[in-house]
A and B are shown apart, each in its own frame.
Chain A
Amino acid sequence: MAAHGAVLSLCRFIKPFGGGRLGNTVKVFGTTLTSHRNKSGLNPPPAKYGGRHTVTLIPGDGIGPELLNHVREVFRFSCVPVDFEVVHVNSALETDDDMNNAITAIRRNGVALKGNIETKHTLPASVKSRNNVLRTSLDLYANVMHCQSLPGVQTRHKNIDIMIIRENTEGEYSSLEHESVSGVVESLKIITRNNSLRIAEYAFQLARDKGRRRVTAVHKANIMKLGDGLFLQCCKEVASGYPDITFDSMIVDNTTMQLVSKPQQFDVMVMPNLYGNVVSNVCAGLVGGPGLVPGANYGRDYAVFETATRNTGKSIAGRNIANPTALLLASCMMLDHLELNDHATSIRNAVLTTMNETRLHTADIGGQGTTLEVVQSIMRIIQSKGQLTSEF
């Protein structure tokens, strides 16, 4: 009886998706037809127009536009063979046209670099988070974040090296909500076997590729017995195919407690969407804050790179104080993905040298440098390494 009601409630909310969102309907019923992949990455799109890649750039809101301008500046300076196709998304509008354009552009180019798009609370609840729409439309099922302590940054905990793999399309972020009775709202959290197997497979394969020893699944299966129970079971199944990697699990509240007292015990962590949100923000805070950690969203066919903690940074926008590190490192991850490894390494080294040796820090990590000063320092270091650069 209750199940019947549940199916009805789901059906009611698949309908508005209609037409071009058939992919979503198929996804919700868990029959994503992705085949088993044995590689964590995916083949980059072919270079176009004589060896130059085209990448979609979505500036977003807050500090996104200014930091992405700096990224383009560094790319131009280092003669990186990447052209950006800029697509603006106006977060104040209710219509989906901007997002549809952005999604089409990413489908065309295969790769994107983005700032965070604000979700305005003044718009009605039917307008979903644009960032979420992007992730689900492109089926970017794996969010990967690598948190490492940086020697040049003062933090309470040292020697942290955690990879977090977060399921990026379902779970609590399914955006399926309805008000069944006035004053009573139900929000559905969907866990499917296919997506759980897929993300677990991704996590173990990545762990193996990077030579990591242990994967920890984070869950709350003692309370959400069916939902998180299914997720955990899928992880266990996948784990049995990787005997060289140790698998264990931990309940999410205990996980956060352990993270703030002994974060060094964690190696690779895999989890559903919401816990991923919490854990990745805790870890980002532990290594120094939102300005330092890059994030990547991978799907079977597309990849989108952004900062790990997805902040708009409205309060510091336009003041030349934002930390460009996270977005620059994200752009390096993108260059690695495009197999432009030399450029990636050059820029990454320059960023880390500025952070760890020159110690030119922005305010969020206790320094007094401006964004521009940090970026110029990075460009100077790139130039000093003798690589081909254009004028300053």
Chain B
Amino acid sequence: MLSNMNMPRLAQMQTVTLIPGDGIGPEISSAVVKIFQAANAPVSWEERNVTAIKGPGGRWMIPPDAKESMDRSKIGLKGPLKTPIAAGHPSMNLLLRKTFDLYANVRPCISIEGYKTPYTDVDLVTIRENTEGEYSGIEHQIVDGVVQSIKLITENASRRIAEYAFEYARNNQRSSVTAVHKANIMRMSDGLFLRKCREVAESYKDIKFTEMYLDTVCLNMVQDPTQFDVLVMPNLYGDILSDLCAGLIGGLGVTPSGNIGANGVAIFESVHGTAPDIAGLDLANPTALLLSGVMMLRHMGLHDHAHKIQKACFDTIREKKVLTKDLGGNSKCSEFTADICRRVQDLD
């Protein structure tokens, strides 16, 4: 498809590994590439496929050329991946996470003006520890009819995610970080997580640190989400809360997401499904992937381009003239994309 886009540039071209994904993945990826081109973003795309293959030794892994590309470029943009039920290999997202040690999942949730939900003025970021906790996958049947699942909390992972959260807050001019936990019930595990957060908070006196029970956060979030800024939490709470917050702004079709890895690797992705029923019909909504791309540009330091593309996207949605079906309109993906491209060029 689009292997190496060469564009006239003023800034240094940066390589990004593009993983279109399955279902509607390819069409929304090409939409994003078109919009980036219209914005003259200095990005050169390397397209790769990450469908799992069996490596030497029988272990499932991602194709070596994909890994090599990502290790080199350090930045990836990924569309939705399908996990077949009886494929024999673990979930693709899990495989990527393990391959690149993607320890932090970051979801900024900002209300989109023009896409009305009962909640306005939402502006918060959920930062979820992504490697351990309840999702360690360690389960046993003790005796017939009794199952135990193990939740693992380690000092290192907790410290790492806390440090990332405070760094993120500092780099993005956020004023407070809230640790979400259930240390009243899980005294030792969430207690450890909380202790690490408190310790890291000592080194970031410019950022306000608070702690709140998971249930209190849920209770307050649906009543007044404006009171929250950056939230940091272990895996399961993060999963639930990040989806809750996505629901506040309009769902997974408009929510960006980024995964930060240990060696400087960062993969930005759309978190919705592959939507096989509308794949190839030019009906998909590329907003989630586009906003993830915007997050990626910010991560790369290309704030001007990020701002331009985000503004064009929000303006198109606010005008309501060429919305895709899930946003309440009747237009095609290509029309929606063309409108954003036009706006981006006008903004220049």
Contact = CB atoms under 8 A, between A and B. Distances in A.
Interface string A267-303: 0000000110110111011100110000000000000
A179 B187 CA distance: 11
B96 interface: no
B186 interface: yes
B2 to A, nearest CB: 33
A6 B218 contact: no
Contact of A278 (B118, B141, B214): B214
A16 to B, nearest CB: 14
Interface string B238-253: 0111111011100110
A281 B219 contact: yes
Given A184-B152, A257-B251, A3 B145 contact: no
Interface of A: 2-3, 6-7, 10, 28-30, 119, 121, 125-129, 132, 156-157, 172-173, 175, 177-179, 183-194, 220, 223-227, 230, 252-254, 256-261, 274-275, 277-278, 280-282, 284-286, 289-290, 309-311
B146 interface: yes
Given A6-B140, A281-B219, A187 B150 contact: yes
Interface stretch (B18-26, B169-177, B220-228, B274-282): B220-228
A187 B153 contact: yes
B134 interface: yes
A156 B248 CA distance: 12
A364 B191 CA distance: 30
Contacts of B215: 277-278, 280-281, 309-310
B191 A125 contact: yes
24 contacts: A2-B138, A129-B184, A172-B186, A175-B186, A177-B186, A179-B188, A185-B188, A186-B189, A187-B151, A188-B148, A191-B147, A192-B145, A227-B147, A227-B148, A253-B242, A253-B243, A257-B243, A257-B247, A278-B214, A278-B240, A280-B215, A282-B219, A284-B219, A285-B223
Nearest to B120: A156
Given A3-B142, A189-B134, A259-B247, A285 B148 contact: no
B220 A189 contact: no
B119 interface: yes
A121 B243 CA distance: 29
A289 B223 contact: yes
A156 to B, nearest CB: 4
Contacts of A132: 185
A285 B221 contact: yes
A113 B41 CA distance: 64
B247 A29 contact: no
A226 B218 contact: no
Nearest to A3: B140
A121 B155 CA distance: 18
Contacts of B243: 253-254, 256-257
B147 A156 contact: no
Interface centre among B152, B218, B252 (most CB of A within 10 A): B218
B246 A257 contact: yes
A2 B216 contact: no
Given A177-B187, A184-B155, A281-B219, 16 more contacts: A7-B142, A119-B184, A121-B183, A125-B188, A186-B150, A187-B150, A188-B149, A192-B147, A224-B134, A227-B148, A256-B218, A257-B244, A260-B244, A261-B247, A277-B215, A281-B215
Contacts of B139: 224-227
B116 to A, nearest CB: 11
B220 A125 contact: no
B6 interface: no
A282 B218 contact: yes
B185 to A, nearest CB: 5
Contacts of A225: 139
Nearest to A121: B183
B248 A260 contact: yes
Given A183-B156, A253-B243, A257-B251, A129 B185 contact: yes
B143 A258 contact: no
A372 to B, nearest CB: 25
A180 to B, nearest CB: 9
Interface residues of B, number: 56
B187 A125 contact: yes
B216 A30 contact: no
Contacts of A29: 142-143, 146
B187 to A, nearest CB: 4
A127 B145 CA distance: 29
B117 interface: yes
Contacts of B183: 121
Interface string B143-169: 111111111111110000000000000
Given A30-B146, A190-B147, A278-B218, A156 B119 contact: yes
A30 to B, nearest CB: 4
Nearest to A123: B187
Given A128-B187, A256-B240, A183 B155 contact: yes
Nearest to A178: B188
A256 B149 contact: no
A153 B64 CA distance: 59
Interface centre among A7, A125, A126, A225 (most CB of B within 10 A): A125
Contacts of B222: 259-260, 282, 285-286
Contact of A193 (B145, B148, B192): B145
A253 B240 contact: yes
A231 to B, nearest CB: 9
Contacts of B137: 223
A129 B182 CA distance: 11
Contact of B149 (A189, A258, A310): A189
Contacts of A172: 134, 151, 182, 185-186
A191 B119 contact: no
A184 B251 CA distance: 35
A260 B141 contact: no
Nearest to B196: A183
Nearest to B255: A257
Contacts of B244: 253, 256-257, 259-260, 282
Interface centre among B144, B189, B191 (most CB of A within 10 A): B189
A189 B152 contact: no
B149 A191 contact: yes
B60 interface: no
Nearest to A156: B118
The 7 closest A-B pairs by CB, nearest first: A193-B145, A257-B247, A183-B155, A285-B222, A253-B243, A125-B187, A119-B184
Given A2-B138, A30-B145, A177-B187, A277 B247 contact: no
